[in-house]
């Protein structure tokens, strides 16, 4: 029986087994500098810009349930993160803990999974870090997809709350960042609950932010 070769999520051409993108689409990723950006008062780092094949990977994970893509995203983060951001054994007593940005319960029931949690789990396995799913989203579940920038800057859909123990050093994890409003809401909730150091890693960042 002939087996169909794996396909690239960027161009639908053949890819190596286990790879989410073919060699050509990997070369087309718009890689960003190692220096983190400040968005709404949160230090945020992403390995690539949200364009081209990176956008295709985000869509595959978020809307087509391609769970294997989460590991490809985590691989990009783990391989290129700024020095010290993912150290499992830093010379301090508190190790950084990964905290996924929460999905609204209504959307979680509809989709069946939280893409940020999938990336955080894959990144945790690669970097040897713990994952604490200690944030929840409440209130309205209106989507921000297609919203004007002014609406997105106003904040995330719903409110962010803490449930359970909060780590001292937190690295928020998400698939994409645009204005940083959702990350800032997560930062505020975690800070109020006792977290002392909060930064964020995402797979892709919208250009111009």
User: HEC states along 68-134?
Assistant: HHHHHHHHHHHHHCCCCCCCCCCCCCCCCEEEECCCCHHHHHHHCCCHHHHHHHHHHHHHCCCECCC
pLDDT at 153 exceeding the cut of 80: no
Using one digit for the tens of pLDDT, what is the confidence trace for 43-53?
999 999 999 99
Q: Residue 74, Cβ neighbours under 10 Å: how many? A: 23
Using one digit for the tens of pLDDT, what is the confidence trace for 66-118?
999 999 999 999 999 998 888 755 455 568 999 999 998 888 888 999 999 99
Percent of the chain exceeding pLDDT 70 equals: 85
pLDDT at 2 exceeding the cut of 50: no
- Locate the domains of the chain by residue range: 23-142+150-205
- Dihedral over alpha carbons 185, 204, 117, 138 (to 10 degrees): 30
Q: What does the alpha-carbon distance between residue 186 and residue 205 come to, in Å, rounded to a whole number? A: 17
Using alpha carbons, select from 205, 198, 143, 192 the residue that is nearest to residue 168: 198
Q: pTM for this structure?
A: 0.88
Topology given in CATH for the domain delimited by 23-142+150-205:
Rossmann fold (3.40.50)
Which letter does DSSP use for residue 48 in this model? E
Average pLDDT, the chain: 88
């Amino acid at each position: 029986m002939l087996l169909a070769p794996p396909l690239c999520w960027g161009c639908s051409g053949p890819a190596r087994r286990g790879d989410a993108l073919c060699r050509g689409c990997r070369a087309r990723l718009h890689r960003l500098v190692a220096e983190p950006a400040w968005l709404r008062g949160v230090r945020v780092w992403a390995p690539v810009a949200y364009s081209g094949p990176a956008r295709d990977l985000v869509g595959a994970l978020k809307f087509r349930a391609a769970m294997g893509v989460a590991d490809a995203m985590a691989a990009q983060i783990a391989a290129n993160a700024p020095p010290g951001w993912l150290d499992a054994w830093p010379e301090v007593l508190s190790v950084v803990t990964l905290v996924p940005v929460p999905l609204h319960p209504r959307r979680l029931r509809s989709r069946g999974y939280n893409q940020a949690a999938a990336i955080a789990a894959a990144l945790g396995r690669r970097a040897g870090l713990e994952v604490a799913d200690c944030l929840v989203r409440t209130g309205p579940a209106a989507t921000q997809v297609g919203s004007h920038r002014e609406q997105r800057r106003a904040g995330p859909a719903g409110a962010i709350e803490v449930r359970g123990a909060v780590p001292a050093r937190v690295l928020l994890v998400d698939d994409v960042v645009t204005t940083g409003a959702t990350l800032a809401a997560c930062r505020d909730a975690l800070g109020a609950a006792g977290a002392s150091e909060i930064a964020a890693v995402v797979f892709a960042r919208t250009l111009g932010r």
